[in-house]
Amino acid sequence: MTFFVRPALGALHADISLKPGDPVSIAIVTKLIGPGMKTSDTVVFYGFGGGMDLNVSKHVGIRTAADFVHYDMFSGLLNGGRNSVRFSVGPTFRFGPNVPN
């Protein structure tokens, strides 16, 4: 087994395009995001993560990982930042001259 930790720093971008169907919804959406009913936002996120690799053979392993990030997307529409947690499991493949024996 090989354990690891890692920092998380990056950018998130999202586009919203709404198509409300009734006059009340149209009035609310127009007031919130404008008459075009489209908006976008790009924000920085930060966090940390870690996990472990289960080394099945010299070239193949199984990785389990968890990541936590914080971001403040659409701060003009939403109140406060959001947190996100991601879990993943999958294969890893190692190749090349620097693979340990």
pLDDT single digits (tens) 48-87? 999 999 999 888 999 999 999 999 988 878 888 899 999 9
Question: pTM here?
Answer: 0.67
* Structural domain boundaries in the chain: 2-93
Tell me the CATH class for 2-93. Answer: mainly beta
What is the rounded CA–CA span in Å between residue 65 and residue 60?
Answer: 16
Structure tokens at 28: 């609310």
Q: Helices (DSSP H) in 1-101: which residue ranges?
A: 23-33
Q: Are 13 and 31 in contact (CB under 8 A)?
A: no
- Could you read off the pLDDT of 24-59 as tens digits, one per residue? 988 888 888 878 888 888 999 999 999 999 999 888
What is the rounded CA–CA span in Å between residue 82 and residue 90?
Answer: 26
Residue 95, helix vs strand vs coil: coil
